[in-house]
């Protein structure tokens, strides 16, 4: 058995739900699947001693989960004051409107269609609630509206689906674009090098203790897959389905539809760069 410390990013073992850093608590949604891993991580963030909290990604429209998030905050003496979204996929955002209704909070997101209230989110925004500081980091690629949230006081970054706690993510073509995704990974690498970020609080899977190692693994993995796709095309595999069967042969076939989205994004990238 491979030890967690030897895996990319050094995933933290143990129970996923519960405190992760001094300011972050995870409430795991009950929506485990091949695509969502153990389920969606709903993050409650609060400055120690503060009575106000921020929730990132309420998750699916599951009443019991949404109420469990509220109960967890209240048991810590906190009132949820704001809801944030990393992106609009249903496993992260479907429950946001109901959660906002239950908590009487605004929902802030990059995509105007997901917002409840006048304020969105954009590059350089700093969110302050009850002494907590979050910095918005645009990270398009998985989707066009993907964001990460830098939590400087914990040297941590909440990555949504941009970096997962286990495995790798899908570039969800056509909304997601590989060039954007590679730029976003480099942006996250800069956070680890220049801003001292060492902890990844992902949208799915365990907390990662080695943020730089995780990002470097993602960049290397994408370069390897891209080279494989390029070689497959050179060898006569033309359609996305043909390329998936050749390049992702070792991957569970139930994941091939998702892999095809990434292959489409890779083919587009190779065409745009004149490589095929």
pLDDT digit string, tens, across residues 145-174: 999 999 999 999 999 999 999 999 999 999
User: Residue 268 to residues 12, 81, 169: CA-CA distances in angstroms?
Assistant: 35, 41, 18
Q: Which domains does the chain have, with CATH numbers?
A: 18-273 (3.60.15.10)
Q: Return the axis-axis angle of helices 256-272 and 240-247, rounded to nearest 10°.
A: 110
pLDDT digit string, tens, across residues 186-242: 999 999 999 999 999 999 999 999 999 999 999 999 999 999 999 999 999 989 999
Beta-sheet strand order (sheet of 199-202): 126-129, 132-138, 147-151, 156-160, 199-202
Q: Give kind and range of the element (H or E) at residue 157.
A: strand 156-160
Is the confidence at residue 52, as pLDDT, over 70? yes
For the record, the structure tokens of 77 come out as 């003496």
Distance between CA 158 and CA 201 in Å, rounded?
5
pLDDT of 87 reads 98
Percent of the chain with pLDDT over 70: 98
- Please, what is the end-to-end C-alpha distance for the chain in angstroms? 40
Q: Is the pTM of this model over 0.75?
A: yes
Is the confidence at residue 1, as pLDDT, over 60? no
**DSSP-derived secondary structure letter, 228:** H
pLDDT of 2 reads 42
- In the three-class reduction of DSSP (H, G, I as helix; E, B as strand; rest coil), residue 11 is classed as strand
Whether 30 contacts 10, CB under 8 Å: no
pLDDT of 18 reads 97
User: What is the Cβ-side half-sphere exposure of residue 67, based on CA atoms within 13 angstroms?
Assistant: 3
pLDDT digit string, tens, across residues 75-130: 999 999 999 999 999 999 999 999 999 999 999 999 999 999 989 999 999 999 99
């Amino acid at each position: 058995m491979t030890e967690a410390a030897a895996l990319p990013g050094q995933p933290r073992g143990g129970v996923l739900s519960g405190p992760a850093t001094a300011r972050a608590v995870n409430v795991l949604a009950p929506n485990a699947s091949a695509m969502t891993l153990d389920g969606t991580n709903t993050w409650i963030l609060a400055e120690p001693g503060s009575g106000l909290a921020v929730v990132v990604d309420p998750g699916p429209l599951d009443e019991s989960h949404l109420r469990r998030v509220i109960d967890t905050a209240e048991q810590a003496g906190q009132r949820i004051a704001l809801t944030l979204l990393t992106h609009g996929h249903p496993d992260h955002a479907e429950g946001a409107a109901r959660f906002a209704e239950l908590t009487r909070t605004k929902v802030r997101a990059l995509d105007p269609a997901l917002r409840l209230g006048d304020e969105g989110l954009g590059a350089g925004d700093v969110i302050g609630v009850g002494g907590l500081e979050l910095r918005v980091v645009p990270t398009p690629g998985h989707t066009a509206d993907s964001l990460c949230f830098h939590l400087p006081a914990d040297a941590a970054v909440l990555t949504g689906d941009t970096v997962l706690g286990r495995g790798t993510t899908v570039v969800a073509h056509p909304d997601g674009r590989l060039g954007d995704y590679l730029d976003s990974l480099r942006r996250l690498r800069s956070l680890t090098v220049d801003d001292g970020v060492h902890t990844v609080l992902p949208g799915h899977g365990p907390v990662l203790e080695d943020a730089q190692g995780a990002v470097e693994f993602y960049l290397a993995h994408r370069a390897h897959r891209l080279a494989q796709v390029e070689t497959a095309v050179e060898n006569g595999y033309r359609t996305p389905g043909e390329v998936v069967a050749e390049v992702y042969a070792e991957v569970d076939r139930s994941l091939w539809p998702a892999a095809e989205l990434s292959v489409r994004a890779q083919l587009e990238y190779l065409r745009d760069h004149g490589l095929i």
